[in-house]
Amino acid sequence: MNETRKTPPRPKSRQPLNPVFVLMGLSIAVLIALIVFMAMLKSKQKAVADSVRFTEPSASTATTPEPTDPEPSVPNTSQPAATTPSASTLPSEPTIPSEPTAADIIADFAAQHGLTLADYPEELIALLERNPEAQEFVLNYPLEHDKEHTVDISGYATQEGVPLFIQWDQQWGYVDFAGKLAGLSACGPTCMSMVAYHFTRNPQYTPVYMMEFAMSNKAYAVNGSGTQWAFFQKGPQELGLSVQELTLEQSQTESYIAKTLQAGKVIVMNVRPGVFTTVGHYLLLTGYEDGKFKVNDPNSYENSEKLWEFEEFSDQVRIMWAISE
């Protein structure tokens, strides 16, 4: 007998999920997870707060902790350990005292002699500031400038070479010349005095004499301007001396200047600001030794004691005069 095989029923196909329901389900799951997380976080914060409250001492029993040093000091076993001083009590580093200014030096001297800084002209304070060699002359100004001073250069009669006279020597430095103190303005007459006395040994030819000689001729000196070049162009002849004005080329030729000095002449040099002055200045070239020049600077003993390379001042030369008997 033929057996009929039954075909099993085919499974029904699954219907796809509705996207709306899926999204709603995910949102609900995220919300539940967030609520759980917030509850756990709040519980943890409460536990931390309770712990701090439990361990913090009350205001009445709290003690101030001792400060700790970066590098603890080792206490001296023979004495109680000293506490480390605070930064405000630590000794400061020693400071190097500054050099006193000219005004400081003058004020100190003035206080000791019943004077004040106002007794000193500004020009003298400035002189001391730039030239400490003139300190005695400057300090004694209020005490000496009105006095009559004996002028005597006869002591230089036996000195070899050209004598060095300083314009701020107290014998003549307080005399007025061309509207200023000679100590500030009389470099020209002081140079002429050195030259004239060197060749004549006439004790009359002092710096004071040369100041009066210059002021007697308006071409030789002018108030406010000082000594003019004409004083050296023509003045030596009136004193019985010979003078030669060097050309620009000659005054810039070291060998020519050296030969002139070696011939026994003395050179008066006028210079612009540089190694010898901050304004303008007259000084002498008196010798040539070992390739260097000897100068007589009426404003400085120090400059007059050293030998000078020509290159040190050659670019500052304005004019030169060679003077002889």
Q: What is the mean pLDDT of the chain?
A: 84
Q: What domains are defined for the chain?
A: 100-147 (no CATH), 148-324 (3.90.70.10)
Residue 205: CB atoms within 10 A of its CB come to 21
List pLDDT tens digits, range 232-250.
Answer: 999 999 999 999 999 999 9
Cα three-residue angle 263-267-268, rounded to 5 degrees? 165
Q: What percent of the chain has pLDDT over 70?
A: 74
Q: Is the pLDDT of residue 59 over 90?
A: no
Residues 6 or more apart whose Cβ sits within 8 Å of residue 190: 165, 166, 167, 182, 207, 210, 282, 298
Q: Is the pLDDT of residue 143 over 60?
A: yes
Question: Between 8 and 181, whose confidence is greater?
Answer: 181
Residue 226, phi-psi category: left (phi > 0), alpha (psi -120 to 50), beta (remainder): left
